[in-house]
Structure 1
Amino acid sequence: MKRIAIVGVGNRLMGDDGFGSYMAEALYGNVKGCDVIDLGAAGASAMEVLKDYDIIILIDAVAMDKDFDISRIDINIDSDEVTSTVLDFEYSGSHGVGIQSILTTLKIMGYAPEVYLVGCKPYVLDVKLGLSEELRRKLDQIVLSLTEFLKKNFGIEVTVDDTIKKLYGVVNNN
């Protein structure tokens, strides 16, 4: 059986960048059929956590035109990507390494999970706890879309009402 992880990524101190982290906390305990991990802004230490999964579903704030999207990510290893990853580690230190560099490094090391990105458009990326009002208005629809995707593609069950209630509780307490 394939090991699946839903992984929230983001810095809660930077407004909407914390979206993935908040979602992971809300999903924890409300999902059956996979692990839920809140990486926050973990950096290079995330590799040890992620290397044993066959499927990784990342939840993150992503600069994009759409408000919300789910797509499969193919990690390509070419000389430019390797150079970019090395520079990311060199200049960011182990704590500032981005998720793309972590996934590239995993592939270089021989780990090749299927990766899906649940991306949400951020509206506020300033030093601020909690999510912007613009993003908060979309949370119900995001949870419903994510739940449908998880059920349809992986047979993963999510307790929707409890997840939404917990999500608003987590976001409102920050």
Structure 2
Amino acid sequence: MRPADPWAAPGPAVPTVRVDGVDIGRGSRVRLRPARRADILDLALAGREAEVDAVYDDLDGQTHVAVLVHDDPGRELGASGKIGHRFFFTPEEVEPLDRRPGPGRNRPRILVAGIGNMFLADDGFGPEVVAALLREWPAPPGVHVADFGIRGMDLAYRLLDGYDAALLVDAAPRGGAPGTLSVIEPDPPPEDRMVETHAMDPVRVLALARRLGDGHLPRVLVLGCEPLVRMTGEEPDVVVGLSEPVREAVGRAVPLVASVVGALLDGRPPAAAPHPAAEPPTRAAAPGER
């Protein structure tokens, strides 16, 4: 994108740049106002809302604002540095949308991560919830939703990418009825926890991220679903598709994710397990039943 070369290594990062009397930086909401001299791709983004991903000074001392466009279906690719989904503008080409004065004007950055193996029956709950979120839920500014599948190393590194909090969505047996949803805040993994780069349960991912981040982690919550069908991966056949109670729980998980994320954005304590809307529905008693 003009004027920065996306193939080139960025210059030193600067935290903010002042635009119209407002300091904007990572997480700030802006509206794109490309100059008339802009190329056709820039002009196509005119008027669109975006989130600032970074502010850079290039080697010539010019400041550039890297943004992620809100309604770009590949926005998460831009957040991971992929070309074509991360756009560069000058400070004069962005209009601040959040003009509240003082510290804390920018909202927290939150990661919603689906984890699990879609070939192991109910272990695919996390990816299914992420797919539903991407279809049905317009994520607020500062919130990134992504399916990490079984890529434990990728998720561990992403947890260290400047997020204030993360919500991991996973199948999690806790002894309840199949389809029961719960929101928990796991204890920090012990320092001597063995790191397994290919394991994908939340505790192992957190242990890996903690090791990579020299002990520093964002706040992490887990939205878990009680599975009906549990597989280890040692079975001779794969099973694609969720059991009935877990598939039904996917629909209940979407508003629960929205509720937890809203609480994190507003600085409120998120709902703890069990959540009032998290229990599987019970069948109404037929006449004569008790």
TM-score range, shorter chain: 0.7 to 0.9
Per-residue Cα deviation, 1:29-81 (whole angstroms, up to 9, x for no partner): 63223001111011223222221122010000001123110122231434xxx
Matched, 1:56 2:170: no
Deviations 1:91-115 (A, max 9, x none): xxx3335432221232232322100
Structure that is richer in helix per residue = 1
The amino acid across from 1:154 in the alignment is L
Instruction: For 1:10-159, list aligned pairs within 5 A.
Output: 10-28=116-134, 30=137, 31-33=139-141, 34-52=143-161, 53-66=163-176, 67-78=180-191, 82=192, 84-86=193-195, 89=196, 94-108=197-211, 109-126=214-231, 127-155=238-266
Structure number with larger C-alpha Rg: 2
Percent identical residues: 28
> How far does residue 130 in structure 1 lie from its aligned partner after superposition?
1.4
TM-score, normalising length: structure 1? 0.73
User: Which segments of 5 or more consecutive residues in structure 2 lack a partner in the other structure?
Assistant: 1-105, 232-237, 267-290
Aligned partner of 1:75: which letter?
P
Between the aligned partners of 2:223 and 2:259, the Cα distance in structure 1 is: 12
Unpaired runs of 5+ residues, structure 1, are: 156-174
Aligned length: 145
Q: Highest relative contact order (Cα 8 Å, sep 6+), 1 or 2?
A: 1
| 1:74 and 1:115 in contact (8 A); partners too | no
**In structure 1, C-alpha distance between the alignment counterparts of 2:263 and 2:200, rounded to whole Å:** 32
Say which SS state the counterpart of residue 194 (structure 2) adopts: helix
